[in-house]
Amino acid sequence: MEIYFLGTNAGVPTIQRNVTSVALRLMEERRSFWMFDCGEGTQHQVLRSPLRLGKLEKLFITHLHGDHLFGLPGLLSSRGYQGGTAPLTVYGPPGLKAFLDVSLSVSQSRVPYKLEIVEHTGGLIFEDDTFKVEAGLLEHRIDSYGYRVTEKDSPGSLNTELLLSYGLKPGPLYGRLKKGEDITTEDGTVVRAAEVICEPKKGRIVTVLGDTRPCPGSLPLARGADLIIHEATFAHDLADMAYQYHHSTAAQAAELARQAGGRELLLTHFSSRYVTQEELAPLLAEAQAIFPQTLLAEEFCTFPVYRRK
């Protein structure tokens, strides 16, 4: 499980950074990746990345502002031309389906795969045997949602060294033990499943928050998350401006991560007034003063999501 940024700028693209889009790579877990937001030019960013649109399984839109949405029709159309035949589900606030219906129909775009559009107003929006995704309303100029992705705990692996000491080689008996069944060897030894199965693997939690100023809705989504992705449009000396425009400062993002008991914080969605790394450095410093495990998002960079022991 890895985070890969395709766009980290707020509002409009610049020469240095594109507008918002982030990928959650799940190649080991699902042989696919998920995407959160799709600002203008995102498909160009994908071409410069190791991602392949044919592997895109789910796409989540936080809100319907253009810097998070305008790249979606083009990306959906291009996916078909790039070998994407597997079904794709797009989630987002009410109005998303109307936007896509008009964009794709008026442009006569061909989508040669099953495209499902799921509009939601928060709550549990997806669940299967391995993952669930919850959404919650934040506080922005229009309805904006954050997403909490929870990987479910997975069964522990078999202790093969111990099993070999019993004289048991890989085969059907391993499968029975994996299911929790006790077995008896040929010499009458009882091998108990509980003694040869390692501890379950703890699932990871990733929280991706859309545009928002500090609000009560952020905390439940971020509580106990292994990785929190939060906008940091301004440094804290512009806190009044951030509030006026329904955005957050780096310090406010860090305070949310501290209150939520998160493990790591990634800041993104930077105002165009912060162009260079030197100009972004104060945002990182003010956040790390509150929540030391903070990093700045960088486009075309991978950030692993580590598993709790």
Question: Cβ–Cβ contacts within 10 Å for residue 256, how many?
Answer: 25
Give residues with Cβ within 8 angstroms of 63, minimum separation 6.
Answer: 69, 92, 93, 140, 142, 143, 144, 145, 210, 211
68 labelled ligand-binding: yes
140 labelled ligand-binding: yes
Among residues 67, 129, 153, 237, the one annotated as catalytic is 67
Sign of the CA dihedral with 205 first, then 280, 41, and 104 last: positive
67 labelled ligand-binding: yes
Q: Is 67 an annotated catalytic residue?
A: yes
Would you call 166 exposed, middle or buried from its count of C-beta atoms within 10 A (0-12, 13-18, 19+)?
middle
211 labelled ligand-binding: yes
Binding-site residue numbers are 63, 65, 67-68, 140, 211, 269
Binding-site residue numbers for Zn(2+) are 63, 65, 67-68, 140, 211, 269
Residues with catalytic roles: 67
